């Protein structure tokens, strides 16, 4: 919900990002009812070995939203740790909370 956003992507995806960015910006403006200026970082790309996705940066780097495949996989793996623990070792009756 910031008016100025910096978007980082892989250098290989730059053409695709420039193609879909106007439509994405228009949809954002229609849904949020607030204008946004998205600048694509052409001097600081995501690493080439990243599988894909983007990273949004706002407030001079204080807010960073990674939306790459790797960051999504990290997030889901952290959420699945309790289920994996239970599947491997069974439920621990001494645990008060099941994170």
Chain segment 46-81, per-residue pLDDT in tens: 999 989 899 999 998 899 999 999 999 999 988 888
**pTM higher than 0.85, yes or no?**
no
Distance CA 56, CA 7 (A): 5
**Residue 75 included in any domain:** no
**Residue 54 included in any domain:** yes
Backbone angles phi, psi at 61, to 5 degrees: 90, 0
Domain of 25, in residue numbers: 4-66
Mean pLDDT over the full length of the chain = 89
**Residue 97 included in any domain:** no
Percentage above 70 pLDDT, the chain: 97
pLDDT of amino acid 58: 94
1-5, 43-47, 57-61: least confident range: 1-5
**Residue 72 included in any domain:** no
* Structural domain total, the chain: 1
pLDDT of amino acid 12: 93
**Residue 46 included in any domain:** yes
């Amino acid at each position: 919900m910031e008016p100025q956003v910096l978007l980082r992507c892989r250098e290989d995806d730059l053409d695709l990002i420039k193609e879909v960015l106007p439509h994405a910006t228009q949809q954002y403006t229609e849904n949020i009812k607030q204008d946004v200026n998205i600048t694509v970082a052409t001097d600081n790309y995501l690493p080439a070995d990243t599988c894909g996705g983007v990273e949004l940066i706002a407030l001079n780097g204080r807010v960073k939203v990674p939306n790459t495949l790797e960051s999504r996989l990290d997030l889901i793996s952290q959420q699945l740790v309790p289920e994996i623990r239970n599947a491997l070792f069974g439920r621990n009756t001494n645990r008060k909370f099941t994170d």
